[in-house]
Homo-oligomer: A and B are copies of this chain.
Amino acid sequence: MFNFEQQQQFIKKANALTPQLKRWVVPIEKLATPVFDENVWQNYTMKQSDLQEFLSTHSFANGDSFIVALPETLVGQLAFRLSSLQGYADSPSRLRITLGELPQEVVFADKPYNGTLNGSWLQSEVINIDDLPMDVVLPRRYCCKYIRFDMIGVPRRINFDNIRFIACGAEDYLAEVDKSLSPILQEIDRASIRTLRNCMQTCFEDGPKRDRRLWLGDLRLQAMVNKVTYKRFDLVKRSLYLLAGALQNDGEVSGCVMERPYPRKGCHTHDYTMLFSLVLYEYCRDSGDWALGEELFDLACHQMQLMERFFEKGLFIGENDPYKDWFFVDHDLELDRQAAVQAQAIVGYNYLAKLSEKLEKSEKASAFREKVELLSKVARDKFYDSQTGVVVSGEKLQISYASQIWMILAGVLNPEEGKRALLAVEKNQSALKPSSPYMFHYLLEAWQICGDEEHLMELLEEYYGSMVKHGADTFWEAYRPEDPFFSPYNDVRMNSACHAWSGTASYFIRKGYLQ
């Protein structure tokens, strides 16, 4: 089961679904001048002016630099024409090019990097152009809104023109926004759609700047927005095949899959693994393609079997170890994950049961229902404090949003209890807040399940609206409204500013849960 040959078959099917990327050329028309202002998000605004005028009146020598701004955050390649002032270039031209989604990345291109992820994720190139004039097309793909050019070894003075961006994506347009919405909701919807569009390449990527790969956790959220916008179910199907074709040695689906140079497994992420049946079920339901549910049913079942080793008598006893057994849940090392992961397992069994029912496998369905009941009972006994109405987790009885949210999604708390729990953590200053838009999505989903759309929309508008006010035209991987320089990687330049899991506002704005 799940042997090499079968996985190869899945990869073959995934490859057959690889979309032909669309490409479109976007002229870059703005010069961007960074202006320091400690009252703005991350201290810099980018003053824009006419680029054509600047380029036609300036030539560039060693030490010179300038920054350009794209009309929107885009994914693709950079191209420009380089020539020498006298038509005579005495040497190759060496340029450093720094591409950034947010101002910090280009303003502080020279600042040493000491973050936790490898610095090569920072989008930077040193290129050598042997002969001028030359139309240069950089071969790599970037995600950016700002591009900085530094002349580090150019012959006398050189000239730039026709600086442009060759954007790419599975789709080349932004799904239309409802003009009857309030202006801020329109903006949030648009940024949310742009985030999805930028992440939709040959599969659903988590972020086109970093990590540029298919993460199971992100896939679920992207599929939700996809359903109310692009409806590219072929891409979801391809993504599921990729996950099914690049398993860990024990048959666990990987937390992420790398597409290139050939599809292969990334790391374990067990809480994502628990959501595999959910993603599969929703794909089948939204697309009507239950055949894939049948095809991947055994694999889905196997995932929860693999998770059993983390449970004792229906209680989650696994420990979060990012290097061995990783239960991500949220970007927060302080978070006690026990309650949340217990709940995620319930979700996993629950959607296995639903899938079994739909596929008329009643024995299986009953078995999974039993699992749901057992784990739910243990969960309620162990984690739910009916006195205070909140879920507590771990030995220190930690109170977090994450625990409430996942218990609501798991149905351990009914809508009324859920609402009470959510209101309680809202009032509790020491309750651990969502640390990522990934967790924040599930907060909104929990409110939706609890049936309080008004509260949901208030939160949505406040959270995503404040990102928009800080200049976002795509939504950020990491966002702590009170901490502009928060980074899970110890350097804000490493954060992805166009990140799959942050783009679900459109799902709620467009009421995807009613469709």
Chain A positions near chain B (C-beta within 8 angstroms): 62, 87-88, 90-94, 117-121, 125-126, 128, 130-134, 140, 152-155, 210-212, 258, 260-261, 264-267
Contact = CB atoms under 8 A, between A and B. Distances in A.
Nearest to A156: B118
* Interface-centre pick from A62, A91, A132, A267 (highest chain B CB count, 10 A): A91
A62 B258 CA distance: 22
B118 A154 contact: yes
| Closest 6 A/B residue pairs (Cβ) | A120-B153, A91-B118, A94-B120, A126-B126, A131-B260, A92-B120
Contacts of A153: 118-120
* Interface-centre pick from A62, A90, A132 (highest chain B CB count, 10 A): A90
Contacts of A152: 119-120
A120 B131 CA distance: 12
A152 B132 CA distance: 29
A512 B94 CA distance: 42
A256 to B, nearest CB: 10
Nearest to A133: B261
Contacts of A120: 91-94, 128, 152-155
Majority SS of interface residues in chain A? loop
Contact of A267 (B88, B94, B155): B88
Contact of A130 (B62, B88, B92, B260): B260
A132 to B, nearest CB: 8
A125 B125 contact: no
Contacts of A211: 90-91
Contacts of A260: 130-131
A87 B258 CA distance: 11
A82 to B, nearest CB: 11
Contact of A140 (B91, B130, B133, B264): B130
A454 to B, nearest CB: 42
A94 to B, nearest CB: 4
A155 B267 CA distance: 14
Contact of A261 (B91, B125, B131): B131
A140 B128 contact: yes
Contacts of A90: 117-118, 211
21 contacts: A88-B265, A88-B267, A90-B117, A90-B118, A90-B211, A91-B117, A91-B121, A91-B210, A91-B211, A92-B121, A93-B120, A94-B120, A118-B153, A118-B154, A118-B155, A119-B152, A120-B152, A131-B258, A131-B260, A132-B261, A134-B261
Contacts of A125: 126, 128
Nearest to A151: B120
Contacts of A140: 128, 130
B134 A119 contact: no
Contacts of A155: 118, 120
A119 B96 CA distance: 14
Contacts of A134: 261
